[in-house]
Structure 1
Amino acid sequence: MKTAWQYEAAFRQEVLLCIVLIPMGFLLGNNGIERALLISCLLLVLITELLNSAIEAVADRLTQEQHPLIKRAKDLGSAAVFVALCYTVLVWGLVLYY
């Protein structure tokens, strides 16, 4: 966690977002299920970002030159983070709407 905080700007931004939104999840959820959904999707974003950062670190260690497989691995990791963020928006939107 310390390494991710030190080297990954996106991780720092997402942690700060969690610092704000996790307490809001406790307040805005009407029951335990809603609170769990609101908070767990935020944690999923952090988990996905950590895995993406790990993939990028390994890829950068292997080679600095452009390679289609390295690019694909990095793009897929970034896509996973994007899907986790979209899922978070969907969950928060549905819980707060209904």
Structure 2
Amino acid sequence: MLKAFRHVVHAAGYSVAGFGHLFRHELAARLEIGAGILSFVWLIVLGRPIRDYIILLILFCVLISVEALNTAVERIVDKLSPEISEFGKNAKDLGSAAVFAMLAAAGIFLVAVTADSAGLIAF
């Protein structure tokens, strides 16, 4: 049991270090934090139910996860292929596409709840 607890503590430390690196070195991650905060404020303005906050929080967690993985891919590509290459370009473009897809998902959700609040659709 003690071994499992130590493992969890170490894993949490690695995660905190990863988040620290992500938010120190990636402007996109900091912008996403700001957009996330503004999105939560928007839900407050709209008077949305708690369900919508939970959905937004899940979308936000997945977005930050994808951003972290994209950053990891970029770091690996920069190490493996410091020169401009088709391999590096494709890998980085795919990571960027994944982040864009998550941003689009969050945007679609916010548009849907806004339209629902305005009585344009039933959500």
Q: TM-score with structure 1 length normalisation?
A: 0.84
Gaps in structure 1 of 5+ consecutive residues: none
Give CA deviations for 1:27-70 in whole Å, capped at 9, x if unaligned. Answer: 64633332222222222221111111110011101121122122
The answer to whether the 8 A contact 1:25-1:38 is kept is no
- Which structure ranks higher in relative contact order (CA pairs < 8 Å, sequence separation ≥ 6)? 1
Distance in 2, matches of 1:80 and 1:72, equals: 12
- Number of aligned positions between the proteins: 98
Alignment of 1:15-54 (within 5 A): 15-25=33-43, 28=46, 30-54=48-72
Distance in 2, matches of 1:88 and 1:18, equals: 9
Alignment of 1:10-89 (within 5 A): 10-25=28-43, 28=46, 30-89=48-107
Question: Superposition RMSD on alpha carbons, in Å?
Answer: 1.9
Distance in 2, matches of 1:48 and 1:29, equals: 29
Further displaced range: 18-27 or 34-43: 18-27
Aligned-residue identity in percent = 30
Decide which structure has the larger Cα Rg and report it.
2
Match of 2:119 in 1: none
